[in-house]
Every structure is written in structure tokens, then in C-alpha cells.
Amino acid sequence: MLKFAVFDSAPLSPAGAAGLPVPAKGFLLRHAHLLGPDDVAIPSEIGFADGYITASKRITGAAAISLQVNVPPATGSRNGGRLNLRTCLLPERAEPYLLTLELARHQVMMLLTKLEEWGLFDRGQEEPAMARVTAALEAFTTALVESQRAGGKGFTPTAEKWARAALSESLAAGEQLCLLCSRIAHQRRLAGSLTEMAGARLSAEDVSDHDAKDAPSHAAHHHSGGVVLADAPAIGCAINPAAFTPEWALLAQQHFDFVSMPMRWVDLEPSEGKYAYQRTDKWIEWAIRTARLPVHAGPILDTSPRCVPRWLAIWEHDYETLRDVVVEHFKAVVTRYRRTVSVWNVASGLCGVGGITLSPEQAMDLTRTCVLVVKKLQPTARVIVEIAHPWGEYTGTPRGSRTVPPMIYGELINQMQAPVDAFGVRLQMGTGEAGRACRDLLAVSAMLDRVGALERPVAVTVLGAPSTPANVPEDALEPGVWGGSGDNASGWTAETQAAWATAVARIAATKPYVSSVCWQDLYDCPPGVAPAGEMTGGGLVSATLAAKPALAALSGLRNTLRNRQPLN
């Protein structure tokens, strides 16, 4: 069992009778789960009582806890919020761990790891990001020393105070470090370095001592490895086919390199055998004939509950028949649109918990089958397989034992040599759904690097956050807030959405292995119109045709990439 001491987020005075910080009277466990080796969520039972979080697991060995916490911004920074954070892998012991200190320890570890991977250790203190890193290291060292002075407890007000400071500073440092790395990577693309390296990996053994001293080193080209693409990624936007107006169409044409058309099975075939293509046809015809924009489409098969038609559940326990039904659906959709769609997002969520239950063997077989069907019908199309929940929290749920962790899913696709052209990643935060809790920018960047290390291009198939606070109860799926103070944040706003979109899209777009970035919805779906969008307030244009700041932010990034201009 792991045990963590938790204290009120209010100021640390007055202390308790024994000179210790006052234990938290209440702590809401949100998105709490344990992680084992390789960041795989493991089944566990987690509870809170009397100022302590206790977590028991069903397997032996060290584990980390991941949960949502309130983090105030560091001095002079707006970075903070209500974020999902985690600890390092920790062995079981009799004494409780100080939660804040362990969360800070992991953030500091990630800072040092990424400094090494990105070749940024020789950046001077005149760089604001490096000054933040130094401040985080100093605060963490002080917190560690103060906790050791307390003997077995380690819960002095001073230790807790410095642990909080270290957590805030390390989050701010991580986010500044990600933006610094994105700027450097973009500079190298402008200088032609990535063009020279495209198509040829440079292994660690090939890096000379002279190259290693270059700032940043070749590690910054590859981040954590992966392919290197010479061209800057395309910036696009998904369009809900529920409604069509010339104003929305014009905005898409003016601001994006491509459009993406959702292909939710439940919308295309609401009744078995009866397809409804009209609304999708209208947008695709406009994109091809009027806007002359490339069309991406899919996922054709999305196993999330809201995308799977109810009648499909009849064959849930008859896999052979289910596969035949899926193949027939693929044939109908791809045959209809193969002359207009250039990129197919084939499947999403097959490795996780969704509206249909698949064993790991069935998930891999169905993935391969879907890819081969598309390639047979349209050999020239680019094929993407999407990782819907890249952090893989679902593996720790009661049904998680029958699922495949996301990175293992990618490795298995590589091993079976399916003709997959790229891995897709959904990056959605700020809504009360599993897998969509808010995370800091360093966690986002590190996750993309892990997917990139699978040695295929990466497409951010769905990028999104809301412009209004999510209307969800105070429960385990509270979506969280990015930026500002987690305690005092009023929730998501149009300005927060724009700031998040600017930062995350920039980080993703400057990764050398990312081929495209696509926002989740062009417009907010008007009331009473179905199907609804990806999330409430998740569009770039309101239902009343008012453009949000996020539209200008993404359009500005697209213009910067297209015009080969430097990033600020």
C-alpha cells in the first residue's frame, strides 16, 4: 500500500499542535489511478481519510499515483491550474509520502530528462526558461532538505511550503521549456536542417563530439526519436456536417490548409442498411469544387459509445460476424468517397474501453483488417490509425484488463507490419469525460515524443479545448482548468481556449515527426441541431457566427509555418 500526506492548499499557518501543517479536511480524488512500469495504469483502490490518501494495488512492485490537483501559478507566471499530475514510481513503505513533494519530484525529473533529450543543457541563464529550471531545482532541493530534517515524518510547514513552490516553479519551467524547444526546432526547419535529415535517421552512435556540443544538439532534431519530416505540418479543422452556412465555409477556406470530415457510424448509418450521406456530401463537394482544399475523413470506425450505432451491439459477442459487418461498412464509405478523400483516419479507440468490447487479439485483428480494406479500395490514400486516449487511463478500470495500453498498441501495429502511414493522436482537454482531464504542456510534449518514437509520422487528428466552463458535477471526471490558479480559476473562457490552442498547437506543429494538426470543430453547433460537436463551446466560431480568439491564433500559426517566418 502507498500512503500520501495531503495538506490544505490554504496558507500553512497556524500549524497543528505538533508543529506540523494542518491536514486537509477534505480532498476530492479526481482522475486518481496508479501507474506501473512503462506508464501503464494498473487496477487499484484509492481512498482519502484523515488527511491521507491510501492506494492499494493488486500487483507487487513500485507504482506512481496520478491525480488532479490545484496548482497556483509561480511568481511572474500564469501557468498553473487544476491539472492531472503524477509522482515517480515509489516503493511501498511504512512512512507516508508527502504528496506535494513527490509530485514536484516527478516534474523536476521530467525537466532534467527533456533537457537531455532536447540538448538544452548548455543554454545560459539569460534564457527565461533556463532561469525557471534553476529556480525549480533550488526550490525542490530546499524542500527535500527540509523534509529530511523532519526525520520520519517530513511534514513540516517549511517542507510543505517549499514543495509547493517547487511544484509551481517546475510546471512554469516545463511549459517555458516546451515553447523554447518549439522555437529552436522551427528555426532549424527554416535553416534547412530538417530537410537534409528527412528520410535518414541519425543514430546516437553517429553523433560526433563536435555535434554534441552544438546548441541544441542533434537530440533536438529527433526529440525522443522518430521520423524527420522536411515540410512543416498542415493546419486543418474538422467540420461537423450537421449544418452548412456560406459564412462558416468561407472561414474554413481562408484559415486552414485542409478540412476533416467526421464519419461517425451512428450518423452515416442511423438504421441498419440505410445510409444518410447528404450532409457530409454537401461539405465535401464544397471543399473539392469551391474551396479546393484537401479532405481528410474519419475515423470510419470509432468505438466510443456515442459513435457506435446501437444495433451493432447485437454482434458484440460474435466477433466473426462483427468483423464482416465492419468490413461491409468500410466498403460502402470508402467506395463512395475515395475520389475526394486523400487521408483516411481508419480506426479510433480499438485498443481501449468503448461501446463494443474487444479482446486484445480481436482489437489487433480488426485494426489490420480495416487498414487493409482501405488500402485495397484506395491504394493511394494515406491511412491513419488513431490513439484516442494516449495516456491510457482506461487500463486501470475494471474492464481495463481486456484492453491494450496505447503505446503497446502502436508497437503491435509496427510488429504486424500493417500499411499504416501515420499514427493519429487525440488531444482534447477540459471536458468531463474519461481521458480528457487537463495536463501541463510538458506532459503533452512528452506524450507526443513517446508516440513519435514509434517510428511513424504523427498526426494530431483532434485538438480541442472548450471556450466555456464544462457543465459537469463535482465528481471524479471534473475536467480541470489550464492556466491560472486551480483554486480560484473561474473555468475555461474564450481567451483561455485561445492561449491553450496557441501553446499546444505550436508545440505539436514544431515536432519534426508531426505531419498535421487539426482542430476539433469549426463551429459551435446551434441549439437543437444534431449531431452535436465534440464538446460544448469547442468550436472556433460561435453558433451566432462570431469568431473566437482561437481562430486567429491557429490561423496565425498556419501563416507563420506557410510563410517560413520565425516564432515569437
Would you give per-residue pLDDT tens digits along the chain (568 residues)? 899 999 876 544 444 444 555 556 667 888 899 999 989 998 889 999 888 899 998 888 899 999 999 998 888 777 788 999 999 999 998 889 999 999 999 999 999 999 999 988 888 778 889 999 999 999 999 999 988 886 656 678 888 899 999 999 999 999 999 999 999 999 988 887 776 666 554 443 343 333 333 333 343 444 446 788 888 999 999 999 999 999 999 999 999 999 999 999 999 998 888 999 999 999 999 999 999 999 999 899 998 888 888 888 888 788 999 999 999 999 999 999 999 999 999 999 888 877 788 889 999 999 999 999 999 999 999 999 999 999 988 888 877 778 899 999 999 999 988 899 999 999 999 888 888 889 999 999 999 999 999 999 999 999 999 998 876 655 667 888 898 654 545 588 999 999 999 999 999 999 999 999 999 999 998 887 877 888 889 999 998 889 999 999 999 999 999 999 998 7
Last residue of a domain, one of 139, 156, 179: 179
Dig out the grid coordinates for 514 from the structure.
508531426
Q: Do 167 and 239 fall within a single domain?
A: no
Query: What's at 487, amino acid-wise?
Result: D
- Which residues constitute the domain of residue 271? 232-467+488-562
pLDDT given at position 18: 46
Rg (CA), the chain: 24
Q: Do 136 and 265 fall within a single domain?
A: no
Q: Do 101 and 250 fall within a single domain?
A: no
Q: What is the DSSP letter of 523?
A: B
Is the CB of residue 161 less than 8 Å from the CB of residue 15? no
Last residue of a domain, one of 134, 160, 179: 179
User: Residue 322 sits in a domain of what CATH number?
Assistant: 3.20.20.80
Structurally, the chain folds into a number of domains equal to: 2
Q: Do 155 and 240 fall within a single domain?
A: no
Distance (Å, rounded) from C-alpha 296 to C-alpha 83?
32
Please give the helix or strand (H or E) that residue 236 lies within, else none.
Answer: strand 234-238
Is residue 193 in a domain?
no
Residue entry with cell 532561469: 131
Q: Do 151 and 262 fall within a single domain?
A: no
Is residue 477 in a domain?
no
Measured between alpha carbons, how far is residue 292 from residues 48, 243, 254, 258, 288 in Å? 56, 20, 11, 9, 5
Classify residue 316 by burial, with Cβ atoms within 10 Å: 0-12, 13-18, 19+.
middle
Q: Do 160 and 89 fall within a single domain?
A: yes
Is residue 215 in a domain?
no
Is residue 195 in a domain?
no
Is residue 216 in a domain?
no
Is residue 206 in a domain?
no
Q: Do 162 and 266 fall within a single domain?
A: no
Dig out the grid coordinates for 531 from the structure.
449531431
Q: Do 361 and 492 fall within a single domain?
A: yes
pLDDT given at position 285: 96
Q: Do 174 and 241 fall within a single domain?
A: no
Distance (Å, rounded) from C-alpha 168 to C-alpha 305?
37
Q: Do 539 and 422 fall within a single domain?
A: yes
Last residue of a domain, one of 142, 157, 179: 179
User: Starting at the edge strand that comes first in sequence, how are the strands of the sheet with 52-57 ordered?
Assistant: 44-49, 52-57, 2-5, 97-98
Backbone angles phi, psi at 187, to 5 degrees: -60, -40
Q: Do 169 and 237 fall within a single domain?
A: no
Dig out the grid coordinates for 309 from the structure.
450505432
Is residue 218 in a domain?
no
Q: Do 326 and 430 fall within a single domain?
A: yes
Is residue 199 in a domain?
no
